[in-house]
Structure 1
Amino acid sequence: MAIRVSDQMMVSTALYNLRRNSRDLFRLQVMAASGRKILTPADDPLGAIKVMGFHSQLARFEQYGRNIEHGLSWLSYTESVLSDLEGVISRAREIAVSQSSDTADAESRRECAPIVRELREQVLQLANAKFGDRYIFAGLKNDSAPYTQDGAFQGDTRAFEIAVGHGIRVAINLVGPEVFSFDGTDLFQELEGLAQALEENDPEAIASKLDTLDQALEVVIRARAELGARVERLESYKGILEQTSLRLTERLSEIADADIAEVLTELATREVVYQASLLATRRLLETNLASLLG
């Protein structure tokens, strides 16, 4: 028994196919424009879950990368401060050497005393150096200067750490006593003592400061070596992070990125199909309209 297909059924079927072709065409146009093959979670539920996970990991990696760059900048600035400090100590030592010799006299020593006090002031400025809005030698109390005018330390000795990986943190700071204190004394006291010895024309006291200034230089040299080791560590983590991010990005691309050449080919085909269905639907509607009018 033949089944009669009504005009209404033919029109409904034609309109349904037209809408479906339009949706398919629109989806391909979005894929071509965005370069993505997963446009909604419904396209590939498992793939969409993986994509969200990869994006979350990459966001964490980007934050770790920013932390590392900040840490490297901090360490570079600290290194420049220590380099300046080494120069100041070396200058003070040169004065101690020259003014402890027999060729120096009371007048030359008195003239060098204010120079040494100026060097002490430079040391104080370096001890209170800031990177951005943080004092680099103040521990975690880095919102205020760690050293008072008389050379007293008022920071703390806690490490300022940055996260460079999951559960991995690296200290990027040196605290004041690690740099400016040694053997129960500090650089501020020793420079003031040198200035007083110069004022008092005491060559033996001046000569005694050579050992403490040498110790101060050794402390700074060790601190610079420690900074170098931390820089190497951060650079190592940076390399690992970049390689891991690259592999993750490649994996994300495999899941989420569309094959543009394939999409464009299918898009061209779908455009032809859509135009054909549009033409067929128009003719069907015109035929039905003519029948109704006739």
Structure 2
Amino acid sequence: MITRMSSAQLQNAGLRAITDAQTRLASLQQQVATGKKLQSAADDPNAAVQLLELRSELSLMQTHQENMTLVNAALSQEESVISSVNDALNRARELSIQGRNEILAQSDREAIATEMDGLREQLLSLANSTNFNGESIFAGSRTDAPAYSEEGVFQGDDLVREINIARAVTIKLGHTGTDVFERGEGEPNVFQIIANLAEALRLPAEEGSERLDVMQANSIALDASIDQIASLRTSIGTRMTLLDDQLALNDGLTFELTKTMSNLEDLDMPSAISELNLKMVTLQAAQQTFVKTQSMTLFDYL
């Protein structure tokens, strides 16, 4: 059976061919212009769903990256401050050893006591260090006020902010004054220890025995504080190592996520340009064919 097509049917078929070719060409031109093969979810629903999930995961990892930058800055500042605290305490130990020398004149002990006073003020200043936001770094959650009063009394609390650096992985931003400058309930803190040493150095010569007893007791306490600082620095180092490891892991996962997203949505430009040229030729052919069929009549077939 021979199927016959009217002129109108031939014309409509030609128009559909041109319209389809124009639609495919426009879609491909848009892909080439943006460099993305997915222009809408309808282009590939499965890939679109995967991309949404991957973008959500990447956003979370970027948040973790920002958190790690914050933690790194906080721990780096704290390590620097505690290093200065350690230097001050070691200098106080040197002075306490000098001050126990019985041949020293009272004026010499007074000079040592004066330097002790300066070390106490230096330590108070370090204890009240603030971050770039003006927050006290050793005050726990009470960051809007100095961690210590002028008398060397702790005014903060023991609540240290914890921050997520990965799924189910948190890290503390630092330590409190209790961790750094206090020795335990009923024990003098470092400010009181140094004040006691300075006071003992100022005792008159006839109270030499009492001076030595006080200095001996407080020198032992000072050594314990120095050991406490050493342990604290180890703790900071451990946290920074964990942070470095997580940063490296996060970088690797981010790379893999980005690569997977690129495979799903990025256009293979050389292939796309080749296909674009082919579709332009196809459209031109369809247009030329349509023009020719429009000019034909029945007599062209006789």
Fold conserved between structures, TM > 0.5: yes
Give the secondary-structure state (helix, strand or coil) at the position aligned to 2:174: coil
- The answer (yes or no) to whether the contact 1:25–1:271 under 8 Å persists in 2 is yes
- The Cα of 1:247 is off from its aligned counterpart by 2.2
The TM-score normalised by the length of structure 1 is 0.89
- The Cα of 1:93 is off from its aligned counterpart by 1.3
> What is the CA RMSD across the aligned residues, in angstroms?
2.1
Match of 2:300 in 1: none
Whole-Å separation in 2 of the counterparts to 1:40 and 1:4: 38
Choose 134-143 or 223-232, whichever is displaced more: 134-143
Q: Which residues of 2 match residues 199-214 of structure 1 at below 5 A?
A: 199-201=202-204, 202=208, 203-204=211-212, 205-214=214-223
Whole-Å separation in 1 of the counterparts to 2:111 and 2:216: 17
Whole-Å separation in 1 of the counterparts to 2:240 and 2:93: 29
Whole-Å separation in 2 of the counterparts to 1:36 and 1:166: 31
- The answer (yes or no) to whether the contact 1:172–1:230 under 8 Å persists in 2 is no
- The Cα of 1:282 is off from its aligned counterpart by 5.5
- The Cα of 1:283 is off from its aligned counterpart by 6.0
Give the secondary-structure state (helix, strand or coil) at the position aligned to 2:163: strand
- The answer (yes or no) to whether the contact 1:128–1:146 under 8 Å persists in 2 is yes
Whole-Å separation in 1 of the counterparts to 2:19 and 2:201: 97
% same residue? 26
Whole-Å separation in 2 of the counterparts to 1:169 and 1:4: 74
Match of 1:78 in 2: 78
Can you list the C-alpha shifts for 1:173-204, whole angstroms capped at 9, x where unaligned?
Answer: 11111110114220111111122122224541
Match of 2:128 in 1: 128
Structure 2 stretches of 5 or more lacking a match? 297-302
Match of 1:142 in 2: 143
Whole-Å separation in 2 of the counterparts to 1:246 and 1:153: 46
Q: Which residues of 2 match residues 1-294 of structure 1 at below 5 A?
A: 3-7=4-8, 9-133=9-133, 134-183=135-184, 184-201=187-204, 202=208, 203-204=211-212, 205-281=214-290, 287=295
Choose 95-104 or 274-283, whichever is displaced more: 274-283
Q: What is the one-letter code of the residue matched to 1:92?
A: A
Match of 1:292 in 2: none
Can you list the C-alpha shifts for 1:83-114, whole angstroms capped at 9, x where unaligned?
Answer: 00001111111111112112321101112222
Give the secondary-structure state (helix, strand or coil) at the position aligned to 1:164: strand
Can you list the C-alpha shifts for 1:240-283, whole angstroms capped at 9, x where unaligned?
Answer: 22222222222222222222222121111112223333444566
- The Cα of 1:18 is off from its aligned counterpart by 2.7
Q: What is the one-letter code of the residue matched to 2:203?
A: E
Whole-Å separation in 2 of the counterparts to 1:86 and 1:23: 73
Whole-Å separation in 1 of the counterparts to 2:228 and 2:17: 82
- The Cα of 1:2 is off from its aligned counterpart by 5.7
- The Cα of 1:4 is off from its aligned counterpart by 4.5
- The Cα of 1:166 is off from its aligned counterpart by 1.8
Structure 1 stretches of 5 or more lacking a match? 289-294
Shift >6 Å, 4+ stretches: none
Whole-Å separation in 1 of the counterparts to 2:263 and 2:5: 50
- The Cα of 1:73 is off from its aligned counterpart by 1.6
Q: What is the one-letter code of the residue matched to 2:242?
A: R
Can you list the C-alpha shifts for 1:186-242, whole angstroms capped at 9, x where unaligned?
Answer: 011111112212222454133433212111111111100000111111122222222
Q: What is the one-letter code of the residue matched to 2:221?
A: T
Can you list the C-alpha shifts for 1:116-153, whole angstroms capped at 9, x where unaligned?
Answer: 11211111111111122232111122232221111111
Q: What is the one-letter code of the residue matched to 2:190?
A: L
Whole-Å separation in 2 of the counterparts to 1:249 and 1:18: 38
User: Relative to structure 1, is the Cα distance of residues 16 and 211 closer, same or farther in structure 2, using a 3 angstrom cutoff?
Assistant: same
Give the secondary-structure state (helix, strand or coil) at the position aligned to 2:165: strand
Give the secondary-structure state (helix, strand or coil) at the position aligned to 1:159: coil
